[in-house]
Every structure is written in C-alpha cells, then in structure tokens.
Amino acid sequence: MNRWQVSRSAQGGLNVVLWVTADLVVERSTTTEVSATFISMLARFDRTADLDLYQDGAELFSQALNEAALTRLEAALAALPTNAPGVRIGEGRKLKPFLEVAGPIGGIAATALGADARPVRAILFDKTPERNWALGWHQDRTIVVRERVGADGFGPWTLKSGLIQVEPPFDILERMVTLRVHLDQVDANNAPLRIVPGSHRLGRLREAEVQRVVTTSGERLCLAERGDVWIYATPIVHASLAADPPRRRRVLQVDYSADAAPYPLAWHGI
C-alpha cells in the first residue's frame, strides 16, 4: 500500500518519506515547506479508494448523492449562517430525510452501525477564499448532549454555538462513525482531510503520542468528488490543510451512534 508521511525536523524543516509498500522507502527528502505542487505530487501516489473502514478507519462511498439530491441538500443547508468556519447544526428538521437510516447519508452510517444508527451531531465546514484554515493532528473527543449532568468519566465540558459539548468515556467514541458529505470537489490542493490509517484502534492518545503515531504510521489524503461521502471511525487521528489556492470547500460532517444514550446523559441529536 502506498503511504507518505511529513514530519517536522529538529531544524524546523520538514522530513518527507514516501513508501510504495509498508517497508520499502522509495523517496526521502527534507524541505522547508509543503508546497501545493509537492502535495499534488504526493497525491498521485495516494489511491484513497482502497481504504477500508475496519482495517484503516476510513472508507469512500463514491457518488453516494446524485446531483438532484445534492441540490436538495444545499437547499436544506441554505438558511445556516455563513460567518463561521464550522457551523454547528442544533436543529436539522430539513436535513432529517438525508440523515435518517432510510436516507442516502444515514444509510451509509447504517452499513457500519446497523439500523439503530442515529445522527448525534452535524457541522457544516465551509472553506472559502475569505475563511480558509488548517487544523493540526488530533482525535475528535467530544459529543453534544442535552444537559449538563454530573457523571463519572465525562468531562471537561464546553459550550459551543449554544450546544453543550462534553468529552465522554472513550469507548463511546469508539462505537461511533463520522460521515463527511462533499458538496465540492476536494483535490489534493482543496483542503483534503489527512488521516493516519489504523489509528482508530489505538485508544485515546496523548498529544505527544498523536505526533508519534503520525510519524511512525504515515498519512493518507482523503480526496473526493462532489457527491462522495467518506465514513470514518470517529477516533481516527486526522488533520486538515488549508486550501491552496483558496477555493470553496463545503463538507457536511455528521457523527452517528447506535448507543441508546451516553448514559447517564442524553444525546442532543439533530
């Protein structure tokens, strides 16, 4: 399997390693910055369609939504504010037909979690020339709940866009999947999600461990066409580049769980 990895050197430059199999290093170089051309070059070695949800923690559902469904989805999202990098969707009545298991997005979640899969959080990420950002390596660690209730193993708590977020015991996250619905094409220069295959099986990682996992395991780019849906194991180690040059990149990201409730709390839901 082709893999590549970029890490920061002690001198502040970047070390770049490219494999064509798990143990054959074909290219090793040091550079001072990751240029758009360089990312494109790496992407040519990246066949993202070969990733598998159980093995790698991510899988592509190519062309899951056709143009008619995408137009309806855009209409359902049209009323959302556009002044923030990630818009958290508290109430998504218009999205329901898409997100429930009988719908085109929920149906994909059900392939991993079964018929009890339900959407528990949705965020619209809208990168534009005016709002463009990169995000470092991390694991998603929070869920959204209805109210703050003292509960063993839950915390810290935060409030974002009026929604109560809490870090739950990690096994709740390990039973969740995250779907990313692509409304715009994501090529190597349009801010693809970067993932570390297999990192979803490593449990909760400390900051320093996250970087070590990236360095030792390497990363893949999750490229997409408009209408594609990626499914991820929620705890996967991931990051995102800024679009270069800046372009529109809309992704509807939805977390799913089949757990009845994050006991003793209740899912906020969509």
Binding site for ligand AKG (CB under 6 A): 125, 135, 140, 191, 238, 240, 251, 253
CA 224 to chain CA mean position, Å: 12
Query: Whose Cβ is closer to ligand AKG: residue 3's or residue 250's?
Result: 250
Is 145 or 251 the residue whose CB approaches ligand AKG more closely?
251
- CB atoms closer than 10 angstroms to residue 57: 25
Decide whether 125 or 267 has the Cβ nearer to ligand AKG.
Answer: 125
Residue with tokens 């977020």: 165
The distance of closest approach from Cβ of residue 217 to ligand AKG in the complex, given in angstroms and rounded to an integer, is 18
Closest CB to ligand AKG among 46 and 126? 126
Q: Measure the CA–CA gap between 71 and 12, rounded to whole angstroms.
A: 45
Minimum Å gap between C-beta 133 and ligand AKG is 7
- Which of 238/268 has CB closer to ligand AKG? 238
The residues that bridge with 158 in the sheet, in sequence order, are: 165
- Residues whose CB is less than 8 angstroms from the CB of residue 88 and which lie 6 or more positions away in sequence, other chains included: 121, 122, 123, 144, 160, 161, 163
Least Cβ distance, residue 241 to ligand AKG (angstroms): 8
DSSP state of 54: H
- To ligand AKG, the closest distance from the beta carbon of 131 in angstroms equals 11
User: What residue is closest to ligand AKG based on CB?
Assistant: 240
Q: Closest distance between ligand AKG and the C-beta of residue 161, in Å?
A: 14
Structural contact between residues 252 and 94, judged by C-beta atoms closer than 8 angstroms: no
Dist. CA 265–CA 263, nearest whole Å: 5
